[in-house]
Amino acid sequence: MDTMLAAVLHDFDDLRIEQVPLPRATDFGDVVVRIVSCGVCATDYKAIKGIRKNISFPSIQGHEPSGIVSEIGPGVTHVKVGDEVIVQPLGHCGWCPNCRAGNTHYCEHAFVLGGDGPDDVWNGAFAEYMLTKESTLYPKPASISFDAAAITEPLAGAWKGVIHHSGMQVGDDVVVIGVGSIGMLCMMVAKTAGAARLIAVDTSDYALDQALKLGATHVVNPSACDAKKRIYEIIPRGPDLIVEAAGPIGAVNLMVDLRRRGTRWNVFGITTHEKFELDGGLTHFLEGRQDASFGTTTVSMMKAIRLMETGMVDTETIISHRFPLAQIHEALDVMASPNRNKIIINP
C-alpha cells in the first residue's frame, strides 16, 4: 500500500477527501501511527474555515490522535509495531533550556502535528496514518478506549491550566466560562480536585445541561440573565478561580468583571488577537493573579493519562458525535452547532 485516505486542506474552506502518499518511517526516531481516533478541536475548525490564518497549504489538520504503531524507523527502542499509543501533538527536543526546565511546550526546536504554535508544522491526524517521532508517544492503557484516549491532549491542557498554572485548591469556588469540550474538561478537573461551588457559564442550554450531568453545581446562561449578578447570588464573596474557556472576547470581559480581591483568573480559551481593557488601579488593589495556558507538557500528558486510567475523569462522557473520515464535512457542520460537545473522527 503506497497511499492513504486523508482530509487535505488546500485553502480556507477547501477541504478535500483524497488519496495521498503514505508516510514512511525513514529518519532516526520516526514512527508511523495508524490513526484509530482523532478529536476535532476548535483550533482545527478555525483553520479550516479561515478564522485562523497561520496556515500553509496543502495541510492535514487534526492534533488529538490515538492509534496503533504501524512502522518504526531507525533508533526507535521504546515502541514496536502493534503498540496502542496516545500521541502528544507537540514534539520537543529535550535539550534546549526550556525543555530542561520542564517547559517542553516552549521548546526552541518544537514541531506540531496538525495544530498551532510552532513554525514547524507536520501533517496531522485527519488521515489514516500519521508520521511522528517516538518521543511524542505514550502507551495507551488497555482500560481506555481509543476514542477516550484521543481526548488526552485537551484533558492534559485542562489539568495544566486549572491545577498547574492557576493552582486550584480543595474547597475553591470555581467559575468556568464556556463549557464546550475544553471548558467541560476544565470543569471536570476542578470537580475531581475538590471544587466547592462549581459554576458553568454558557449561552448554550445543551452545554449547560451536560455540565450539570458532569459535575457543575450551578449553571448560568448570560443570554437569559445578568451573569455577574447571578454568580454573586450563588457565591456572594465572589469566585476564587475563573477559567475562560469560551473564546469570544465577551467571555474575557465577563471574567474581568467577575473578579474580587484575590481572584485567580486564567485566559484559556481565547486564541485570536483581540484586545480587552483593564483598570490598572483596580487590578492592582484587587491583587488577583492572572494566568494563561496553552499547549501541553510531558507532565500534563502523564497526569491526564493517570486521571483517565484511574477513572477520576471519564473523557468518553463528553463525546457527542462520531464520524468516519469520509464524513468530516458533516462533522464540521456539527461543529458549528451549539448542540454538540466533543466530536471524534474515526479514520
What are residue 84's DSSP bridge partners?
68
* 138, 194: one domain: no
* 226, 321: one domain: no
The mean of the pLDDT values for the chain is 96
pLDDT at 273: 84
pLDDT at 40: 97
What percent of the chain has a predicted confidence (pLDDT) above 90?
Answer: 93
Answer whether residue 159 is part of any domain.
no
CATH at residue 196: 3.40.50.720
- Number of neighbouring beta carbons within 10 Å of residue 34: 19
Secondary structure of the chain as H, E, C letters? CCEEEEEEEEECCEEEEEEEECCCCCCCCEEEEEEEEEEECHHHHHHHHCCCCCCCCCECCCCCEEEEEEEECCCCCCCCCCCEEEECCEECCCCCHHHHCCCHHHCCCCEEECCCCCCEEECCCCECEEEEEHHHEEECCCCCCHHHHCCHHHHHHHHHHHHHHCCCCCCCCEEEECCCHHHHHHHHHHHHCCCCCEEEECCCHHHHHHHHHCCCCEEECCCCCCHHHHHHHHCCCCCCEEEECCCCHHHHHHHHHHCCCCCEEEECCCCCCCCCCCCHHHHHHHCCEEEECCCCCHHHHHHHHHHHHCCCCCHHHHEEEEEEHHHHHHHHHHHCCCCCCEEEEEC
Q: Which domain holds residue 322?
A: 3-154+296-346
* 254, 329: one domain: no
* 33, 140: one domain: yes
Tracing cell 493573579 back to the chain, one arrives at 289
Question: pLDDT digit string (tens) for 173-231?
Answer: 999 999 999 999 999 999 999 999 999 999 999 999 999 999 999 999 999 999 999 99
Report which of 310, 255, 320, 292 is spatially closest to residue 105, judged by C-alpha positions.
292
Question: pLDDT digit string (tens) for 134-155?
Answer: 999 999 999 999 999 999 999 9
Answer with the residue of higher pLDDT: 273 or 90.
90
- Cα–Cα distance for residue pair 250/253, rounded to 1 Å: 5
Answer whether residue 100 is part of any domain.
yes
Radius of gyration of the CA atoms of the chain, in A: 20
Answer whether residue 161 is part of any domain.
no
Question: pLDDT digit string (tens) for 28-87?
Answer: 999 999 999 999 999 899 999 998 888 899 999 999 999 999 999 999 999 999 999 999
Answer whether residue 130 is part of any domain.
yes
Answer whether residue 181 is part of any domain.
yes
* 12, 142: one domain: yes
Answer whether residue 61 is part of any domain.
yes
**pTM for the complete prediction?**
0.95
Q: Is 301 exposed, middle or buried (0-12, 13-18, 19+ CB in 10 A)?
A: buried
- Cα–Cα distance for residue pair 18/58, rounded to 1 Å: 12
* 190, 277: one domain: yes
Answer whether residue 125 is part of any domain.
yes
* 73, 176: one domain: no
What percent of the chain has a predicted confidence (pLDDT) above 70?
Answer: 100
* 57, 77: one domain: yes
Number of compact structural domains in the chain: 2
How distant, in Å, are the alpha carbons of 239, 257, 270 from that of 293?
19, 20, 10
* 287, 335: one domain: no
Position 319 pLDDT exceeds 80: yes
- Which of 292, 308, 331 is the last residue before a domain boundary? 292
* 266, 303: one domain: no
pLDDT at 91: 95
* 9, 131: one domain: yes
pLDDT at 116: 83
* 78, 135: one domain: yes
Taking the CA atoms of 197, 201, 205 and 209 in sequence, report the sign of the dihedral they define: negative
Q: Is 164 exposed, middle or buried (0-12, 13-18, 19+ CB in 10 A)?
A: middle
- Cα–Cα distance for residue pair 87/111, rounded to 1 Å: 13
CATH at residue 23: 3.90.180.10
Answer whether residue 128 is part of any domain.
yes
Residue 173 C-alpha from the chain's centroid: 23
Question: pLDDT digit string (tens) for 242-262?
Answer: 999 998 999 999 999 999 999
Specify whether the CB–CB gap between 28 and 80 falls below 8 A. Answer: no
**Maximum separation of any 2 CA atoms in the chain, in Å:** 65
